């Protein structure tokens, strides 16, 4: 085999390896399969609560219909991550969820609170859930700057804990005037779009069929 031919073969093998590596990296982390009787808790602030739409139009309510499991809306408008961290243990104790869908940090960003502390609070929420045998999926919240884009800390946390992350959908919703009720909240169509993205994430991660 000539050197040129050998180099072409090596290049082809490296290209194939790169494609498979990239595909593997794009697969979401796995979650335990949810039984029909399992409880899911959607935990967060006003975006989880559903501000800007009717209660039945919130993303947890729509998600419940999509996945066929009970989804508890544990969203509190205006809450920051430190408050969420204090509130979470009681929710975990009372509801005993199989899965926690965590969407928090937006109010920390809006109030320009320390982002490192917000990230640590989210990490501690994940620790608390895992200590109780609850799986976790994470939704990234945008930074609400001139460019609506996901805060990098969510990707870092998801990678650190090897948990599924819905990274871009909420940012895409809040960048589209037709999908939001005000500057920081989706409308009914936006919440449905978020619910669809979360349902897709749960399916890709193996939690539902």
Q: Is residue 23 part of a domain?
A: no
Residue 133 lies in a domain: yes
- 1 in a structural domain: no
Q: Is residue 56 part of a domain?
A: yes
Which are the contacts of 102, defined by CB distance < 8 A and separation ≥ 6? 43, 44, 122, 125, 126, 129, 136, 137, 138, 139
Residue 166 · residue 172 · CB < 8 Å: no
Model's pTM, two decimal places? 0.86
Compute the C-alpha angle 99/105/108, nearest 5°: 155
Spatial neighbors of 3 by CB under 8 A, at least 6 apart, are none
CATH code for the domain in which residue 146 is found: 3.40.50.1110
Q: Is 145 helix (H, G, I), strand (E, B) or coil?
A: coil
Tokens, residue 140: 């990234």
Domain of 157 in residue numbering reads as 31-204
In this structure, is residue 21 part of a structural domain?
A: no
The strand pairing partners of 44, in sequence order, are 75, 103
Q: Is residue 16 part of a domain?
A: no
pLDDT (tens, 9 = 90+) of the chain, 209 residues, equals 555 554 554 555 554 554 444 444 456 699 999 999 999 999 999 999 999 999 999 999 999 999 999 999 999 999 999 999 999 999 999 999 999 999 999 999 999 999 999 999 999 999 999 999 999 999 999 986 656 788 999 999 999 999 999 999 999 999 999 999 999 999 999 999 999 999 999 999 999 99
**Residue 132 falls within a domain, yes or no?**
yes
76 within 8 A of 106, measured Cβ to Cβ: no
**Is 2 contained in some domain?**
no
* Domains held by the chain: number: 1
Tokens standing for residue 166? 């819905």
SS3 content of the chain, % helix, strand, coil (to 5): 55, 15, 35
φ and ψ of 123, to 5 deg? -60, -45
């Amino acid at each position: 085999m000539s050197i040129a031919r050998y180099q072409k073969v090596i290049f082809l093998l490296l290209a194939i390896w790169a494609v498979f590596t990239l595909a593997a990296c794009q697969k979401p982390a796995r979650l335990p399969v949810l039984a029909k009787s399992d409880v899911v808790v959607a935990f967060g602030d006003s975006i989880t609560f559903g501000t800007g739409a009717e209660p039945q139009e919130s993303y947890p309510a729509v998600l419940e219909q999509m996945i066929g499991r009970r989804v508890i809306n544990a969203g509190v408008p205006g809450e920051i991550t430190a408050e969420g961290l204090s509130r979470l243990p009681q929710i975990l104790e009372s509801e005993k969820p199989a899965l926690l869908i965590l969407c928090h940090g937006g109010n920390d960003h809006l109030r320009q609170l320390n982002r490192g502390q917000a990230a640590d609070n989210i990490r501690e929420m994940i620790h608390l859930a895992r200590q109780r045998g609850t799986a976790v999926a994470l939704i990234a919240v945008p930074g609400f700057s001139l460019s609506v884009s996901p805060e990098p800390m969510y990707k870092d946390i998801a990678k650190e804990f090897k948990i599924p992350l819905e990274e871009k959908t909420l940012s895409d919703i809040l960048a589209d005037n037709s999908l939001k009720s005000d500057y920081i909240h989706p409308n009914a169509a936006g919440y449905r779009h978020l619910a669809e993205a979360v349902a897709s994430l749960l399916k890709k991660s193996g939690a539902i069929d």
